[in-house]
């Protein structure tokens, strides 16, 4: 599983011109399930993400997690994170999970996140989304988890 975390002051996602997910300060999570991923990988990714200390404390050090600061999560599916550009000029997405597996793991991630964290908003799986954000820092953290 691949994720890109962006620490944001605010973020939103629109589908067909309508805002369907929006947070203030917190994390924009771009999420991609890969072939072979399972719920075990999702659980591991979410646990690490919620405890990752990338928010500043009073001294300006990155010592606080999204849970510590009460920030939101905006979770957006993005299969293009699995792009392989080694072969030519057109990216290959063969490492991305099949659509049904990707949807199942994305929905599982969102469900588990909502159980573990008070503010979770989402995009819409497989939709044409417009994502807006104000990156804070900027702090952008790529993550990859396997079993």
Instruction: Single out the catalytic residue among 6, 55, 79, 112.
Output: 79
* Residue ranges with strand state E in 42-119: 55-56, 62-64, 72-77
**Catalytic residue of the set 18, 55, 67, 80:** 80
Q: Tell me how crowded residue 89 is: count the other CB atoms within 10 A of its CB.
A: 5
Strand spans (E) along 62-128? 62-64, 72-77, 120-122
The verdict on whether 112 is a catalytic residue reads no
146 included as an active-site residue: no
CB 144: neighbour CB atoms within 10 A? 12
Residue 79 among the catalytic residues: yes
Catalytic residue chosen out of the listed positions 6, 55, 78, 109: 78
Active site residues: 78-80
């Amino acid at each position: 599983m691949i994720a890109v975390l962006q620490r944001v002051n605010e973020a939103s996602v629109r589908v067909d011109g309508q805002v369907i997910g929006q947070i203030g300060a917190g994390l924009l999570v771009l999420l991609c399930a890969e072939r072979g991923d399972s719920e075990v990988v999702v659980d591991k990714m979410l646990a690490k993400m919620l405890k990752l200390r990338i928010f500043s404390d009073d001294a300006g050090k990155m010592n606080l997690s999204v849970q510590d600061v009460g920030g939101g999560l905006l979770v957006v599916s993005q299969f293009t994170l699995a792009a392989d550009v080694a072969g030519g000029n057109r990216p290959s997405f063969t490492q991305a999970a099949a659509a049904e597996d990707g949807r199942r793991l994305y929905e599982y991630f969102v469900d588990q996140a909502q159980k573990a964290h008070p503010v979770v908003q989402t995009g819409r799986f497989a939709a044409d989304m417009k994502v807006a954000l104000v990156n804070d820092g900027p702090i952008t953290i790529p993550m990859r988890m396997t079993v």
